[in-house]
Amino acid sequence: MAATGAVTAMSVFVVRGAAGFLPFWLARFHYNFSRPSIHFIVLRFASPVAVTFPLLILTRTQSLPAEPRCETGFTIFCNGLLACAKPAVRLVRDIPARMADIGFLTGANDCLNVASQRTKNTANNVEHSQSYRLNQAIDVSREDAMKFGLTAKLSAIVALGLLAIPFARPVSSADDTIKIAYIDPLSGGGASIGEVGLKTFQFLADELNSKGGSLGKKYEIVGYDNKLNAQETLVQVQKAIDSGIRIITQGNGSAFAAAISDFVTKYNERNPGKEVVYFNYAAVDPVLTNDKCSFWHFRWDANSDQKMEALSNYMKDRKNIKKIYMINQDYSFGHAVRTAALSMIKAKRPDIEFVGDELHPLLKITDFAPYIAKIKASGADSVITGNWGQDFSLLVKAAADAGLQTDWYTYYAGGTGGPTAMKQAGLSHRVFAIGEGFANVGHPPADAFETAIRAKYGFSLFYPRAVNQMRMLAAAIDKAKSTEPAKIGAALEGMKFEVFDGGEGYMRADDHQFIQPLYIASFGERSAKEKFDEEGTGWGWRTAGKIEAANTVLPTTCKMSRPAS
């Protein structure tokens, strides 16, 4: 390929978001790409990230179309908008400096403003300046705007450019809806549990909307798939923020929760007035409300230490426990469970022997038979596990297959597939779970809710905490008379609330941990007063013990730093 002729044109393309690509792609045929020229393409997807790469065209073609282009000047082509300025750039090394002012455009409007600004600035020392606007909807006054003859091909660009601009513009923070981004796994090993959570939140939003919403605004849940990946989680958070959402909720995976809490806290420091608040409905690593606490993080689930405290208090009176096997997921939450279990049970029942302490990869194992063989060989009579989702149901399924008969002390036995597996294993009232509420607690309003959600979706309520969370959000918005996250946060601090299964809870201001009554329940054959079964197994939950809110309070190391108001 022969490089011929001098570089006769330079341009900067600002392509914002995927939608911006369309006009760019079409324009490239009409623009300078067929002649020797240098172009800088600025790709902007998630602010403040902008990728710039140069494109040097060295070929020469004779057929140059007579479409708008800056003959020798500095051209800005931005999502269907075109402006020229001359002779702003003479040397290639000037360009990076000029990129700086263009690199932080935030939308089609800004794009055009810069174009017009540049035109004005350079008008003094330029003999020829021109700008061109393709979108009539955006009103920017410009004295020397002039029209070019539109060819049929260019009309196509205009049309597509107009289409693209609404997508490229940031969505204004919802005027008539309160949007909540639900960021959890909606594909892969965690999908079954993520899907149930999403529907539960949608059900709750519908419930609030049927009562008129808050401040005349409706609630809307928007699902984002984080694929159980920390990096993907942050990408999804950024996506949610970009589309104007300012309330985020996530629950599955403490590692991802920590990433979100950290991200949101830093984001809020950098973007005063555009704060985002994070509601954690299920990630229970204690560190989130201790060393790593944040004003912008609120947790409605009891943390792992609170749960283990309650569970171990129950276990210490069960004399049949002699040998305990622990199996947990190998990430922050699994580690938190095993550490708490070791220290608490050793303190309360020094005679109990720990015969196993297993950590396995999170949501990657499809056959637990090798683990079950190991549990069996250890001679354990009880198993402690914090496993959730597929990691619990497949674990118990493998136990059923191998005929392993032990007691199980769990955090999340009630999740999708769990009850079916427990029934299959024939473990009637030998699986215990700790939680903030179970189907057969017997609180009439809770029973009515349970009946309604089962009628609509066919699954039972796995997240009573989600109910508390959404209802408290509504209460906080009403109290603050605002949907500003900073004000919602302030209203939530210390808020007292009648929880889903009865009794009072409160959002502790010191660390944003919700303090609530906890229950221990066992799963198995039902008596007459236990009216709900699970997953069509005929078996249901039976309350084995209740821990009052006051007895679940643990000290915190959190030193909360609040935003200056």
Residue 402 near other proteins by CB under 8 A: yes
Residue 214 DSSP one-character state: B
Distance set, CA 539 to CA 240, 294, 425, 462, 532 (Å): 40, 41, 12, 16, 8
Residue 195 near other proteins by CB under 8 A: yes
Interface region with other proteins, contact rule CB under 8 A, candidates 53-61, 132-140, 360-368, 432-440? 360-368
User: How far is residue 24's CA from residue 75's CA, in Å, rounded to a whole number?
Assistant: 13
User: How far is residue 197's CA from residue 251's CA, in Å, rounded to a whole number?
Assistant: 9
**Which uninterrupted H or E stretch holds 325?**
strand 323-329
Counting residues that bind other proteins (by CB under 8 A) gives 29
Residue 334 near other proteins by CB under 8 A: no
Strands (E), 186-254: 218-225, 247-250
Residue 364 near other proteins by CB under 8 A: yes
Residue 370 near other proteins by CB under 8 A: yes
Distance set, CA 102 to CA 42, 110, 130, 364 (Å): 9, 9, 18, 45
Which of 87, 188, 502, 545 contacts other proteins by CB under 8 A? 188
**Which uninterrupted H or E stretch holds 482?**
none
- Closer CB to other proteins, residue 191 or residue 558? 191
Report the first-to-last Cα separation within the chain, whole angstroms: 63
Closest by alpha carbon to 518, among 444, 432, 416, 407? 432
Residue 353 near other proteins by CB under 8 A: no
Which residue has tokens 């022969």?
2
Q: What is the side-by-side strand order in the sheet with 297-299?
A: 218-225, 177-184, 247-250, 277-280, 297-299, 513-515, 504-508, 496-498
Interface region with other proteins, contact rule CB under 8 A, candidates 29-37, 313-321, 365-373, 456-464? 365-373
Which of 123, 126, 162, 369 contacts other proteins by CB under 8 A? 369
Residue 373 near other proteins by CB under 8 A: yes
User: DSSP 3-state helix, strand, coil percentages of the chain (rounded to 5)?
Assistant: 40, 20, 40
Residue 358 near other proteins by CB under 8 A: yes
- The half-sphere exposure of 139 on its side-chain side, counting CA atoms within 13 A, is 0
- Closer CB to other proteins, residue 192 or residue 537? 192
Q: Which of residues 94-113 bind other proteins (CB under 8 A)?
A: none
Residue 60 near other proteins by CB under 8 A: no
User: How far is residue 437's CA from residue 521's CA, in Å, rounded to a whole number?
Assistant: 9
Residue 198 near other proteins by CB under 8 A: no
- Nearest approach, Cβ of residue 319 and other proteins (Å): 23
Interface region with other proteins, contact rule CB under 8 A, candidates 121-129, 153-161, 361-369, 482-490? 361-369
Residue 189 near other proteins by CB under 8 A: yes
User: How far is residue 292's CA from residue 125's CA, in Å, rounded to a whole number?
Assistant: 56
- Closer CB to other proteins, residue 5 or residue 361? 361
Residue 367 near other proteins by CB under 8 A: yes
- Closer CB to other proteins, residue 317 or residue 330? 330
Interface region with other proteins, contact rule CB under 8 A, candidates 26-34, 181-189, 429-437, 557-565? 181-189
User: How far is residue 365's CA from residue 373's CA, in Å, rounded to a whole number?
Assistant: 15
- Nearest approach, Cβ of residue 140 and other proteins (Å): 42
Interface region with other proteins, contact rule CB under 8 A, candidates 164-172, 339-347, 354-362, 486-494? 354-362
- Closer CB to other proteins, residue 261 or residue 390? 390
Residue 158 corresponds to which tokens in the numbers above?
């205009």
With 0-12 / 13-18 / 19 or more C-beta atoms within 10 angstroms meaning exposed / middle / buried, residue 475 is middle
User: How far is residue 476's CA from residue 563's CA, in Å, rounded to a whole number?
Assistant: 18
Residue 391 near other proteins by CB under 8 A: no
- Nearest approach, Cβ of residue 225 and other proteins (Å): 8
- Closer CB to other proteins, residue 130 or residue 200? 200
Residue 361 near other proteins by CB under 8 A: yes
Residue 377 near other proteins by CB under 8 A: yes
- Closer CB to other proteins, residue 65 or residue 370? 370
Which of 38, 191, 293, 488 contacts other proteins by CB under 8 A? 191
Residue 197 near other proteins by CB under 8 A: no
- Closer CB to other proteins, residue 158 or residue 402? 402
Task: Return the number of other C-beta atoms located less than 10 Å from residue 255's C-beta.
Answer: 16
- Nearest approach, Cβ of residue 417 and other proteins (Å): 8
Residue 330 near other proteins by CB under 8 A: yes
Closest by alpha carbon to 322, among 372, 399, 378? 378
Residues 59, 86 contacting (CB under 8 angstroms): no
Q: Which residues bind other proteins (CB under 8 A)?
A: 186-189, 191-192, 195, 330, 356, 358-361, 364, 366-367, 369-371, 373-374, 376-377, 390, 394, 401-404
